[in-house]
Amino acid sequence: MSEEAKVSKLESVVVRSPKLRPRTKELYVRCIRSFVAFAGDNPKKWTAVKTQRWRDRMHERGIKAQSINIALNALRFAARRLLRTAVTFADEVEMLPRKRRQTTDDRTLTYGEAQRLIITCAEQRPRDLRDAAMIVLGLRTGMLRFSMCLLDFNDLGWETVSGKTIIEQLTFTRKGGERHTIKLDREMRKALTPWVEWLANRGITSGPLFRALSRPRNDGRIAVGEGFTPDGLYRMLRRRAERARIPDADKINPHVFRSTFLVWAQKAGAEPYQIAAVIGGKTEDSAGHGHVLAPANTLIHNFMPEKKS
């Protein structure tokens, strides 16, 4: 096969791909032609070093990081399909970090403020276990309050690891009734498990996951009510914010879960499809990124205070 034929084949894998839209194909082909013009038409010279120089040259010319990353994605997409290997010369080159545009003007929390919210739950009373679970779940997933209040025991996905049964995933209802499953990270599991175990010890293993709780009676017993309402979640979060002395606590509402999650995920460098893997919804396919990256919640720092031994 001639070198020219190989170059044409590099472009043709993009043109023939059923996964790419016509506009994306056109863009990817232009990017590939740019690479070949820089690196030459001999595939033997298509190396990670040459690719990195191509990337750096674009950066020196003042091309935006987002556009450079698209070009790298195009090359990865074509190279992996032409060479039929999991890792190619293009996969070895890192994409450039880019400034993330904050997609919301809503109130968001800092990691310190989130930690102070959890500290208000340090007494580990039943309502502390419940509230901590809801706060951590909300901030690490951006879950809307109606979705959280609809959670049911049947939405929990269990898995046995090293002889121990753990909560591995969670399925929730999005707007429009669409169901979406997310994989729990260590922090979410750590916050949710004590609440689930407390309910199980009271014989509650079905029905609403988050419940209204009465104040302790004279004998110390606590009555477990029906499912927690969106209004109840609003009041709980506001009380916790006031106790944590968070500025503008009177303006804190459950939408802070979504706005904070988006900002934290963007600052952690999450791609749109990594965010969509958590909150649901359609976005650009991960093809062309070299490999599928972890969901955005796994990139967010742990803000849960460590328990004192």
Q: Write the CATH number for 267.
A: 1.10.443.10
Q: Same domain, yes or no, for 281 and 191?
A: yes
What's the chain's average pLDDT?
86
With 0-12 / 13-18 / 19 or more C-beta atoms within 10 angstroms meaning exposed / middle / buried, residue 118 is buried
Q: Same domain, yes or no, for 79 and 191?
A: no
* Res. 153: pLDDT tops 50: yes
Which pLDDT score, from 0 to 100, does residue 2 have? 45
Q: Per-residue pLDDT averaged across 122-142, rounded? A: 96
* Res. 306: pLDDT tops 80: no
What's the CA gap between 248 and 265, in Å, rounded? Answer: 23
What's the CA gap between 224 and 227, in Å, rounded? Answer: 9
Return the top range by mean pLDDT from 35-49, 117-131, 215-229. 117-131
Q: Per-residue pLDDT averaged across 160-187, rounded? A: 89
Looking up tokens 């958590």 gives 278
Q: Which two tokens stand for residue 146?
A: 């109606």
Neighbours of 64 (CB within 10 A): 13
Please indicate, yes or no, if residue 154 is contained in any of the structural domains. Answer: yes
Q: Same domain, yes or no, for 138 and 283?
A: yes
Q: Per-residue pLDDT averaged across 113-122, rounded? A: 95
Q: How far apart are the first and last CA of the chain?
A: 68
Return the top range by mean pLDDT from 16-25, 154-163, 205-214. 205-214
Q: Same domain, yes or no, for 155 and 208?
A: yes
Of 85-99, 208-222, 258-272, the range with the lowest mean pLDDT is 85-99
Please indicate, yes or no, if residue 249 is contained in any of the structural domains. Answer: yes
Which pLDDT score, from 0 to 100, does residue 5 have? 46
Please indicate, yes or no, if residue 268 is contained in any of the structural domains. Answer: yes
Domain range for 239 is 111-298
Q: Residue 285: phi, psi to the nearest 5?
A: -70, 150
Mention every residue, 6+ apart, whose C-beta is less than 8 A from residue 54: 34, 35, 38, 39
Q: What percent of the chain has pLDDT over 90?
A: 47
Which pLDDT score, from 0 to 100, does residue 287 have? 44
Please indicate, yes or no, if residue 73 is contained in any of the structural domains. Answer: yes
Q: Per-residue pLDDT averaged across 22-27, rounded? A: 84
Please indicate, yes or no, if residue 303 is contained in any of the structural domains. Answer: no
Q: Same domain, yes or no, for 144 and 71?
A: no
What's the CA gap between 249 and 242, in Å, rounded? Answer: 5
Which pLDDT score, from 0 to 100, does residue 111 have? 92
Please indicate, yes or no, if residue 192 is contained in any of the structural domains. Answer: yes
Q: 206-238 burial, b if ≥16 CB within 10 A, otherwise e?
A: eebbbbebeeeeeeeeeebeeebeeebbeebbb
Q: What percent of the chain has pLDDT over 70?
A: 89
Q: Per-residue pLDDT averaged across 61-82, rounded? A: 87
User: How are strands ordered across the β-sheet holding 156-161?
Assistant: 156-161, 164-173, 179-183
Task: Please state the domain count of the chain.
Answer: 2
Q: Same domain, yes or no, for 79 and 36?
A: yes
Q: Same domain, yes or no, for 44 and 117?
A: no
CATH code of 27's domain = 1.10.150
Helix ranges (H only) for the chain are: 3-15, 22-39, 48-60, 65-83, 111-119, 126-141, 145-149, 186-201, 230-243, 256-267, 272-279
